[in-house]
């Protein structure tokens, strides 16, 4: 066994979305990764049941991506994309657009999911204003929505802890009701039967503010960060219809669902609903280099090009938009997905995965199980007076037993790399069931 020394001062690095003080007492340190496994600093192999943070879809150390990055660093380390360009960025934009439903034809590159969300919200506002409909300034999100951590994203997001510390946020936002309804839908396999009518909450909001003031609605087609909430059957279709009737743009935040997670390139394709804008990141580069992409409908791009009063059509962009290293990583990632037919692999594994998830039904404290593609949400009942304590304990026990899982409060979310084998799926759920049986 190889042992790596621990840092002597954990307080220097202020860790993101982490219990910093608790971590320093009982650190979980990773020193290497290959395929489905991390190596911990005490030399153990840890099964990655979360693809990092929903991003390492092709598994760790993919050879196609590694080679592409080695070539790229020797050729072009950085070039700006403000009034200059690299051929590879234009090629990648075409390849990305081709993965999404027809009509979504233009790509704006960002550095993360949060940047993609802020970009999409700004493009929506810009679109209406450019067309002379500048009264449309309201942005509508949904309770329990997660759209990253920029001020735009937290303003339309619906997670209390992500909002309450940060002042008044963007003005002019509102939120639809969330769709989580365990009383009617617990233990659904795939999309739940009940709740399409919750989309009508947008009508209520539109009537309150007047539809002519609303620029866009943003939702995750499948909400990941608040515990894997699948859209009720017919819900997204209904949302699309309401948006169409009222001139409202529909944005799908596909930061975790795009690039194969549900068995197709996008959730839009899985659910048969085409939004006006799709935000992506994570799986675009397999997590290897930060990058996001916003895919935009033809009419929005055309409008910006036609109506612009200035040579620069959109006053927005990032130093790292289309960073050459990220572009190389993304092109190689899409290549590895295609060459290894990885989205089809997710689709093929999904029934077995679903059975494995729902085998947990009789395990103590499990109050709901949700699944789609290679995603699972395992909801535990909270300990009385200590919400989140049971979930946190499961996460720590899983680490001790060689599993990386993710918990949101008392909900476990699983989203492994697409290269997971049937045996590894079995091992993952056996270990997890064992842990859940042992904790109180
Ligand atoms: C739906 C959604 N949007 C946005 C984000 C933010 O992405 P990032 O952490 O890359 O900024 C996430 C991250 O998990 C996400 O799940």
What residues make up the domain containing 434?
A: 20-58+341-438
Which pLDDT band, with edges at 50, 70 and 90, does 12 fall under?
A: very high
pLDDT tens string 363-410: 999 999 999 999 999 999 999 999 999 999 999 999 999 999 999 999
Give the CA dihedral 342, 90, 113, 60, nearest 10 degrees: 40
Q: Which of 314, 339, 364 corresponds to the end of one domain?
A: 339
Closest residue (by CA) to atom 3 of ligand 1?
147
Encode pLDDT of 258-272 as tens digits: 999 999 999 999 999
Mean pLDDT value of segment 60-69: 98
Q: Is the pTM of this model over 0.95?
A: yes
Q: Which two tokens stand for residue 242?
A: 């309401």
CA of 280 to the centre of ligand 1 (A): 8
pLDDT the model gives residue 181 = 96
In a domain, 6, yes or no: no
Domain presence at residue 365 = yes
The domain boundary residue, chosen from 339, 356, 372:
339
| Residues 34 and 74 grouped into a single domain | no
Distance (angstroms) between ligand 1 centre and the Cα of 407 equals 15
Q: Is pLDDT above 80 for 67? A: yes
155 and 215 Cβ atoms separated by less than 8 Å: no
407 strand-pairing partners? 412
Give yes or no: residues 347 and 373 share one domain.
yes
pLDDT at 355 over 90: yes
d(CA 362, ligand 1 centre) in Å: 32
Q: How confident is the model at residue 51 (pLDDT cuts 50, 70, 90)?
A: very high
pLDDT for position 4: 72
Q: Are residues 88 and 141 in the same domain?
A: yes
SS (H, E, C) the chain: CCCCCCCCCCCCCCCCCCCHHHHHHCCCCEEEEEECEEEECCCCEEEECCHHHHCCCCCECCHHHHHHHHHHHHHCCCCCCCCCCCHHHHHHHHHHHHHCCCCEEEEEEECCHHHHHHHHHHHHHHHHHHCCCCCCCEEEEECCCCCCCCHHHHHHCCCHHHHCCCCCCCCCEEEECCCCCHHHHCCCCCCCCCCHHHHHHHHHHHHHHCHHHEEEEEECCCECCCCCECCCCCHHHHHHHHHHHHCCEEEEECCCCCCCCCCCCCHHHHHCCCCCEEEECHHHCCCCCCCEEEEEEHHHHHHHHHHCCCCCCCCCCCCCCCCHHHHHHHHHHHHHHHHCCHHHHHHHHHHHHHHHHHHHHHCCCEEEEEEECCEEEEEECCECCECCHHHHHHHHHHHHCCEECEEECCEEEECCCCCCCHHHHHHHHHHHHHHHHHCC
Decide if 12 is inside a domain. Answer: no
The answer to whether the CB of 114 is under 6 A from ligand 1 is: yes
pLDDT band at 7 (very low <50, low <70, confident <90, very high): confident
Q: Quick one: angle between helices 113-130 and 298-307, nearest 10?
A: 60
Which of 117, 121, 220, 255 to probe ligand 1 with, by most ligand atoms within 8 A of CB? 255
User: Are both 102 and 225 inside the same structural domain?
Assistant: yes
Of 178, 225, 226, 406, best ligand 1 pocket probe by most atoms within 8 Å of the beta carbon: 225
Say whether both 365 and 244 belong to one domain. Answer: no
In this prediction, residues 153-182 reach a mean pLDDT of 96
Task: Please check whether residues 381 and 320 belong to one and the same domain.
Answer: no
pLDDT band at residue 127 under the 50/70/90 scheme: very high
Number of domains in the chain: 2
Q: CB-hemisphere CA count at 13 Å for 217?
A: 29
CATH number, position 85: 3.40.640.10
Whether 71 maps to a domain, the answer reads yes
pLDDT digit string, tens, across residues 133-164: 999 999 999 999 999 999 999 999 999 999 99
User: Quick check: is 3 in a domain?
Assistant: no
* 4 in any annotated domain: no
Q: According to the model, what pLDDT value does residue 6 have?
A: 81
Which of 321, 339, 357 is a domain's end point?
Answer: 339
Q: Is a pLDDT exceeding 70 seen at residue 2?
A: no
Residues 345 and 229 in one domain: no
Give the domain CATH number at 24: 3.90.1150.10
Can you give the pLDDT at residue 1?
53
Tell me the two tokens of residue 73: 């660093």
């Amino acid at each position: 066994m190889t042992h790596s020394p621990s840092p002597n001062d954990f307080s220097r690095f202020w860790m993101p979305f982490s219990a910093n003080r608790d971590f320093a007492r009982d650190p979980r340190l990773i020193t290497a990764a290959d395929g489905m496994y991390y190596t911990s600093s005490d030399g153990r192999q840890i099964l990655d049941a979360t693809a990092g943070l929903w991003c390492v879809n092709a598994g760790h150390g993919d050879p196609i991506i590694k080679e592409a990055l080695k070539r790229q660093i020797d050729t072009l380390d950085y070039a700006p994309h403000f009034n200059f360009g690299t051929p590879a960025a234009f090629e990648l934009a075409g390849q990305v657009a081709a993965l999404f439903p027809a009509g979504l034809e233009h790509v704006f590159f960002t550095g993360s999911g949060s940047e993609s969300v802020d970009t999409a919200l700004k493009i929506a506002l810009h679109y209406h204003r450019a067309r002379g409909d500048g009264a449309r300034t309201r942005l509508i999100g949904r309770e329990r929505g997660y759209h990253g951590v920029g001020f735009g994203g937290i303003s339309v997001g619906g997670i209390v802890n992500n909002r309450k510390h940060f002042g008044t946020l963007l003005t002019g936002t509102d939120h639809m009701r969330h769709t989580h309804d365990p009383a009617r839908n617990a233990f659904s396999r795939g999309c739940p039967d009940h709740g399409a009518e919750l989309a009508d909450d947008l009508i209520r909001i539109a009537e309150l503010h007047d539809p002519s003031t609303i620029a866009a609605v943003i939702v995750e087609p499948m909400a990941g960060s608040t515990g894997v909430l699948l859209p009720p059957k017919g819900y997204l279709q209904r949302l699309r219809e309401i948006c169409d009737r009222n001139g409202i743009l529909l944005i799908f935040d596909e930061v975790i669902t795009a690039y194969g997670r549900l068995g197709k390139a996008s959730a839009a394709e899985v659910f048969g609903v085409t939004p006006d804008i799709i935000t992506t990141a994570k799986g675009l580069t397999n997590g290897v280099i930060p990058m996001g992409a916003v895919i935009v409908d033809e009419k929005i791009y055309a409008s910006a090009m036609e109506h612009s009063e200035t040579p620069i059509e959109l006053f927005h962009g990032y130093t790292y938009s289309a960073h050459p290293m990220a572009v190389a990583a993304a092109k190689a990632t899409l290549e590895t997905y295609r060459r290894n037919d990885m989205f089809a692999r997710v689709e093929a594994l999904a029934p077995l995965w679903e059975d494995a998830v729902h085998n947990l039904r009789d395990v103590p404290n499990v109050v709901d199980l949700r699944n789609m593609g290679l995603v699972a949400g395992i909801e535990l009942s909270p300990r009385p007076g200590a919400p989140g304590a049971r979930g946190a304990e499961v996460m720590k026990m899983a680490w001790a037993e060689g599993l990386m899982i993710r918990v949101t409060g008392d909900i476990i979310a699983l989203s492994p790399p697409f290269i997971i084998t049937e045996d590894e799926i079995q091992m993952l759920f056996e270990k997890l069931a064992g842990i859940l049986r042992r904790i109180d």
